[in-house]
Structure 1
Amino acid sequence: MYNLADFNQVLLPNEKIATGLKDFDTFENILIYNQEVNFDLWRYLDYKPAFIMFTEIDKCLSVKWGDKPVELNKRYTTADYFKIWTSGGLTIQSNLVSKDMDDKKIIQIIDSQGRKKDFGFYVYRFSILADYYRKGILIDSESSNTDWNWGNENTGPVIMPQCSKEEIPEYRGKFQIKNMDSPINYPDSRKGKVVLILQLHHAIDPQKVMIYNGDGKLIIGGSNVRWSVIQFKTKNDTLDFYAYATQHPDRNFDGLIRIGINFAIKIIENEKEIFIPIYQEVSDSTKNTSKYPFVASVQFRVSPWIMTANTQSPRNLYVSEVPYSYFSQEGYISNQKFIDNLKQVIGDDKVKVIPEKFTRNDPWAQDETKFGYSEMPNKQNLDIILNSPRNRGLDVFPIYNIFELENKGYITCGGTGEKSSLDSFGNLDVTPPFGDYKFGRIYYGGCKDNTNGRRMMQAMREFLDAQIVQKPFQLYTDWLLVGHVDEMMSIIPAPKEISKYGFKILLSSPNRFYEILNSIKDENSIFFKDLCNIQGDKVETTVKNLKNNQELKQFNIKCQEYLDYNRSILIKELQYLDIKELNNDIIDIPALYYPDINSQDNKASAYMPGMVNLVVWENQLLIAKPFGAEVNGKCCMEEYVKSRLETKNLNLKCNFIDDWNAYHIQDGEVHCGTNMLRKPYSDDWWSYIPK
């Protein structure tokens, strides 16, 4: 039910304009076809008679006194009126549209002194056509569309954020306004003219939307402009409009944009036009239509930003060109050998090398950006790159190399809080779809109790939460020096016949490392042969030395406890029943950590290259070469990993790539040094029902 504000209410702030309306014998106002409105009849009387009687009511009008139809020639007292006003008041509804400006629908009353008064109403009918069923077809709404609903069987149109270099017509949120046999003109008020306006709901920040008319002129949004006058040329006329959002949902924006038609009075004050909406904004419950002050309206939802998981088909792999990757006795050496190894596995045409002028010697392609997409109905997908707040050498890469050259979308998210390495995107990933989550769930790392330690920046966490369809959860990674989730786990595809959801989790395991180490009989076998750390000191060691290093072993026992704690989080967040069920879908990958003595609390770094920090390219796995001890002429660590991943059921191929000098000694591995663009999901995000 709508609350109808009469001209007195609308113009009340200006007392000179507000006086005098009660002097008229006939009052003219506006009704909307089939909409029931409250009507404060007593407000229009400049005296309070003992009673009034309704002597005439136009046959197309339904007039109720409370919850009962008004009776002709029945006495209604002032006491009667105020009694029913608290429980609904006098309501009017019309089932006919006015044919022209001479066609007023009349209610006539007579008071206790025999004086008559006519109330005349013009009845209009408008419709907003939009893609309510999300099939790419503009239709008339079957309801008032006061709520946007999730799920394939529900309604609500979609608009895209305008975040690409050029406007893409296919991504327009198109809608139409149709005049359904209504009069072209609108009744005049004493000091202005009643006009029809297209208006944003009062809760919508106009900076978050841009609305264009059919000629491509921006008429609402992008500034403080909240409404625009619209004018039909003829009856049954249709006006075209289209809309974009200026951003994705975030902590200050729920992604819902309501646009409506309203009547307003245009007045001139100080030589400026002022528009005062007739249907005033009303505070009410979220499910009550009176919350929305429009004669017709449409509510859009902004398409969320969606990440893609390792199980999605790959399209391109990005890697930085780093001329000065590391320093050796021969001087500075580039990462070209690493790049060549990538090309050998997946093909030259699939490896996109980010030129040095865009990398500025920043090797960490994963940390600066994360690829995702947004989607309109009919599979109109826009690749959108999310730029992290780390703002190091690669910060120019997404702007110039992706946004400018490839015309993909670009968004950034930051905040005023202190940044840490946990704000880099090696600390941001997403599971494949599972259970109730058709688009998987985003996960990132943080501290254990969310009070003491490092966390991802709040603005980023709230941005990810606001996308809704990939409900994020946090793992514990603050025990790691760099603190990224890709240092301790990754996800690989697997047939559903052998896994609960169609994927396996690879989790770092010091326990597994020591099991393999203790099984080696030749204790003189060498780990990390001929290799040096970043200071140039040799790090090769024997099996015997590793077995006897009790301090290192005790540190890794503690690291294993942290990893087991993360297992318990995965049980809850991935909807496993218990550890046993989860362990069926976890493959332990041997790992060895050492305490970084220069960090607070001796945080952990990878001693042996972290093999979980890998890249999935279809059935090819690109894994950091571990340089383990040789047993029967083969690396013990590589052989173990191949025995678990190169099985008939998994049908995966392990490719061990030397990243020691280019990445490992700088606390990163293969995944850290690369980035992936993958195909979008086949499901429509609006078909998801939030959990």
Structure 2
Amino acid sequence: MDPPQSPSREPERPTEQPMKTLVMSLEQPNTAVCPVGITLLVDVVSFAPEGYKTFEALTSESLLYNVEGTKFNFAFSGHPSRWYLQPSCSVTLKALVPSSMMFSDWIKITYFKSGEEHSNCVATMNITCVSSVYSPWQGPIMLVNCGCRNQYPPNPHEDMFDNRGNSVHLPKMVLKIQSPLGFFNTHQLVINCSHPDRVRLFGFERPCINPPYRMVLGPNRPFHVVTHLKNQENRLFYVEALSFPDADFSGLVSFTVSLLENSNNDNSESTIHRIEVIFRVAPWIMIANTQPPVEIYVTRYIRECNFMETIIRYSCAAQCHLAFCPPGETRLDTWIGNEVAIGYTYTPEQLFHVFLDFPWKKELRRFVFKNCLMPNFGYVIREREDDDHLDAPGFLEVSPPVTANGIFYPLGRILIGDGGFPREKIPEVNIKLRSFLYAQNVQDPLELFSAWLLEGNVKEFLTFVPANDRKGFRLLLASPSTCYELFKLQQTQGHGNASVLDSVDQTMLCYTGISLPLIPFLLSVQTCIAYNQRVLEAELGISERDIIYIPQLFRLGWIQDPITQKEVLRAGHLFPNMLNMIVLGSHLGIPKPYGPLVHGVCCVEKKVQSLLEPLGLNCHFIGEFFGHQGDQGDAYYWINVRRKPFSYKWWNIII
């Protein structure tokens, strides 16, 4: 039995992987993990004490270091590893063998003043060397039958298959038969499958010209007896998956062909030979904001609306198509932003975008948008069960490709809002969605603490934008303290009578009073964001210089928890949340904050421009973004963006 030929797949790593930097400390030893064979950069310059001119490096036997960008100091012949401390110098570190114990290996950097032979100024880092195995998937891959014109999951009772049109991109499985004449009079071949409810195998009963293909193995058909075999024949089958990997399905499917004697497949002793081939179901992959936009979907069109005019202008500037979704009879206009995430799936032969839809309304019978898409799009609808959980794919965020703790995430990591904050017991939410994302096994989800927010949406306090430098992106974090400092500065400069939200409603919020009543709120919200920042830095391998703090204020209020029925304190944005921006390449559609006007210019907008425009980004502040549309919510939830997929091939990821 021959599976489809697997294309030549050399492990493909981007040519410019970000190198992790280890930061030394003179106060106390830091710790790090160093995978064997991976080169890390040791920063010996940034935290060097003032007045020290040279340094020495020393490592344990499991580590190998190299010094570049500086000169050797020949003044101390007895110290063969002393180097001049110059801004251009760098130290690289590589692990040779795994450590025998946790943090049993080390690197020490000793700093010296001019002419000094001995020094107590030592920075130490304790290191654990680990061996990581790079094992890309080498077997055949099959796509999920989730075309927007089809039912998902497909109807198991539809067993006909048009091999003239549908077979182009389906993987093939070929049985090569070479046997004596009459051999199959007393023997037979039986195909079994590990997950017959998750796949369909199409074949024909009798060889002929253009034979009709039917489902021979799948739901309610756990095995298939191959009939009418010739002694010399290549019997062709087509394979398709019926569902993506999930909590109860790893995505690995094995087909076993058994050669039986006496045509008795019930007798295990009659098995003469058995061969097996394993397929992997192509996963669903989410796309980061930093990828170029292709098409914008809007669920609402309002004539003479500045928001719509700006969106149209954006789509032209970013060279992406603008599509208006037909009105839904049973869904709010916010469904495209709240309930849908647009990703993709692919094999070496075919790629198509897939809409992942977790509708909040049960029994979604009539949904015309799905039928308005191009036939080469996929659409997966996961209907609610009889519970109170609302899965919200629109509340997800995904990072750009990152390297953290020696592990490269070429497709980024999905960020999920969760109640996992120390000292609090928050009920789990999004259980089905979380299980689905973990099962894809390519974008290792990272759970953040978002239970302090009114909606629990991680996009309320973070987002990613592209940047025209070596890193390629920046993490934007909401910062109440940055906003407070900005307002405080304007107050000291004599602009204390300006107001927030002056152009939105009749409520005059004089920010001269922010310093007293809002300080407890600022501290509470800032603590939650700071906790998430520490998690992001550790799990995404980013540092302070990769983060931009966006001035944003929140207000706190008591609401009734729908699960516990208890009053809980939650935060919502005080003025339009600028983190809910629309990222279209270098064009950012940012909710207009309606901040204090200083000399006719919003000081909040001016601050944000000064932070983002040096990165090559264009800031466009959009009015009518705030949630003044009744039950429709902020305009941010009226849209979704289809983006260009990552170039990295998922089957080269460690699995």
Scaled by the length of structure 1, the TM-score of the pair is 0.66
How far 1:652 sits from its partner (Å)? Answer: 0.4
1:373-413 CA distances to partner (integer Å, 9 max, x unpaired)?
110113x10211111242389x679x531355322212234
The SS at the match of 1:406 is coil
Contact 1:314 1:679 in 2 (8 A): yes
* 1:448 matched to 2:420: yes
Contact 1:196 1:262 in 2 (8 A): yes
**Counterpart in the other structure of 2:398:** 430
**Counterpart in the other structure of 1:608:** 575
In the TM superposition, 1:255-266 aligns within 5 A as 255-264=251-260
Q: Which has the larger radius of gyration?
A: 1
Measure, in 2, the Cα distance between the counterparts of 1:170 and 1:302.
17
Measure, in 1, the Cα distance between the counterparts of 2:365 and 2:304.
20
**Counterpart in the other structure of 1:344:** 313
How far 1:243 sits from its partner (Å)? Answer: 0.2
Aligned CA distance change for structure 1 residues 673 and 321 (closer, same or farther; 3 Å): closer
Find 1:377's aligned residue among 348, 352, 370. Answer: 348
Measure, in 2, the Cα distance between the counterparts of 1:250 and 1:540.
51
How far 1:642 sits from its partner (Å)? Answer: 0.3
The SS at the match of 1:275 is coil
How far 1:669 sits from its partner (Å)? Answer: 4.2
RMSD: 2.9
Find 2:514's aligned residue among 542, 546, 551. Answer: 546
**Counterpart in the other structure of 2:654:** 689
1:411-470 CA distances to partner (integer Å, 9 max, x unpaired)?
23466474446x223321211112201111111101124972243322211111010010
**Counterpart in the other structure of 2:290:** 311
Contact 2:146 2:380 in 1 (8 A): yes
**Residue identity matched to 2:221:** V
1:341-391 CA distances to partner (integer Å, 9 max, x unpaired)?
21122239722122224574423521121111110113x102111112423
**Residue identity matched to 2:592:** K
How far 1:230 sits from its partner (Å)? Answer: 1.8
**Counterpart in the other structure of 1:95:** none
Question: Which structure shows the higher helix fraction?
Answer: 1
Measure, in 2, the Cα distance between the counterparts of 1:364 and 1:350.
20
Contact 1:197 1:229 in 2 (8 A): yes
**Residue identity matched to 2:539:** E
How far 1:234 sits from its partner (Å)? Answer: 3.8
In the TM superposition, 1:498-647 aligns within 5 A as 499=471, 502-520=472-490, 521-532=494-505, 538-547=506-515, 550-576=516-542, 582-599=543-560, 600-647=567-614
1:112-145 CA distances to partner (integer Å, 9 max, x unpaired)?
xxxxxxxxxxxxxxx424223467xxxxxxxxxx
Contact 1:210 1:218 in 2 (8 A): no
Contact 2:260 2:270 in 1 (8 A): no
Measure, in 2, the Cα distance between the counterparts of 1:565 and 1:178.
59
The SS at the match of 1:596 is strand
Find 1:163's aligned residue among 146, 151, 158. Answer: 146
Measure, in 1, the Cα distance between the counterparts of 2:227 and 2:134.
36
Aligned CA distance change for structure 1 residues 458 and 504 (closer, same or farther; 3 Å): same
Aligned CA distance change for structure 1 residues 184 and 626 (closer, same or farther; 3 Å): farther
Measure, in 1, the Cα distance between the counterparts of 2:646 and 2:630.
36
* 1:439 matched to 2:386: no
Contact 1:128 1:296 in 2 (8 A): no
Aligned CA distance change for structure 1 residues 355 and 558 (closer, same or farther; 3 Å): same
* 1:131 matched to 2:43: no
Measure, in 2, the Cα distance between the counterparts of 1:511 and 1:660.
23
Contact 2:625 2:636 in 1 (8 A): no
**Counterpart in the other structure of 2:226:** 230
**Counterpart in the other structure of 1:199:** 192
1:43-62 CA distances to partner (integer Å, 9 max, x unpaired)?
xxxxxxxxxxxxxxxxxxxx
**Residue identity matched to 1:247:** S
In the TM superposition, 1:259-338 aligns within 5 A as 259-264=255-260, 275-276=265-266, 278=268, 295-321=274-300, 336-338=305-307
Measure, in 2, the Cα distance between the counterparts of 1:596 and 1:168.
55
**Counterpart in the other structure of 1:653:** 618
Measure, in 1, the Cα distance between the counterparts of 2:629 and 2:511.
21
Measure, in 1, the Cα distance between the counterparts of 2:413 and 2:360.
23
Aligned CA distance change for structure 1 residues 297 and 504 (closer, same or farther; 3 Å): same
Measure, in 2, the Cα distance between the counterparts of 1:158 and 1:134.
13
The SS at the match of 1:276 is coil
* 1:469 matched to 2:442: yes
**Counterpart in the other structure of 1:491:** 464
Percent of aligned pairs with the same amino acid: 28
Aligned CA distance change for structure 1 residues 455 and 670 (closer, same or farther; 3 Å): farther
Measure, in 1, the Cα distance between the counterparts of 2:385 and 2:327.
30
**Counterpart in the other structure of 2:126:** none
The SS at the match of 2:409 is coil
**Counterpart in the other structure of 1:83:** none
Contact 1:232 1:239 in 2 (8 A): no
**Residue identity matched to 2:190:** I
Contact 2:593 2:604 in 1 (8 A): yes
Measure, in 2, the Cα distance between the counterparts of 1:642 and 1:663.
25
**Residue identity matched to 1:238:** N
* 1:208 matched to 2:176: no
1:567-591 CA distances to partner (integer Å, 9 max, x unpaired)?
1110221134xxxxx2111100011
Measure, in 1, the Cα distance between the counterparts of 2:400 and 2:626.
32
Measure, in 1, the Cα distance between the counterparts of 2:144 and 2:212.
17
Measure, in 1, the Cα distance between the counterparts of 2:370 and 2:576.
30
How far 1:619 sits from its partner (Å)? Answer: 0.5
**Residue identity matched to 2:195:** D
Contact 2:334 2:632 in 1 (8 A): no
The SS at the match of 1:584 is helix
Measure, in 2, the Cα distance between the counterparts of 1:304 and 1:335.
42
Measure, in 2, the Cα distance between the counterparts of 1:591 and 1:653.
19
How far 1:207 sits from its partner (Å)? Answer: 1.2
User: How many residues end up aligned between the 2 structures?
Assistant: 494
**Counterpart in the other structure of 2:176:** 178
1:148-207 CA distances to partner (integer Å, 9 max, x unpaired)?
xx978662000011111258433301121111x32243477xxxx53112221xxx2311
Aligned CA distance change for structure 1 residues 404 and 528 (closer, same or farther; 3 Å): closer
Aligned CA distance change for structure 1 residues 335 and 663 (closer, same or farther; 3 Å): farther
Measure, in 2, the Cα distance between the counterparts of 1:442 and 1:505.
14
**Residue identity matched to 1:374:** T
Gaps of 5+ in 2: 10-132, 151-164, 205-210, 561-566
Once the two structures are overlaid, the 10-residue window that deviates more, 593-602 or 303-312, is 593-602
The SS at the match of 2:373 is helix
Aligned CA distance change for structure 1 residues 673 and 479 (closer, same or farther; 3 Å): same
Measure, in 2, the Cα distance between the counterparts of 1:546 and 1:494.
33
Aligned CA distance change for structure 1 residues 431 and 297 (closer, same or farther; 3 Å): same
Aligned CA distance change for structure 1 residues 153 and 349 (closer, same or farther; 3 Å): closer
Scaled by the length of structure 2, the TM-score of the pair is 0.70
The SS at the match of 1:212 is strand
How far 1:339 sits from its partner (Å)? Answer: 1.8
The SS at the match of 2:453 is coil
Gaps of 5+ in 1: 1-126, 136-149, 268-273, 282-292, 324-333, 533-537, 577-581
Aligned CA distance change for structure 1 residues 525 and 295 (closer, same or farther; 3 Å): same
Aligned CA distance change for structure 1 residues 231 and 361 (closer, same or farther; 3 Å): closer
The SS at the match of 1:573 is helix
Contact 1:133 1:156 in 2 (8 A): no
Contact 1:624 1:670 in 2 (8 A): no
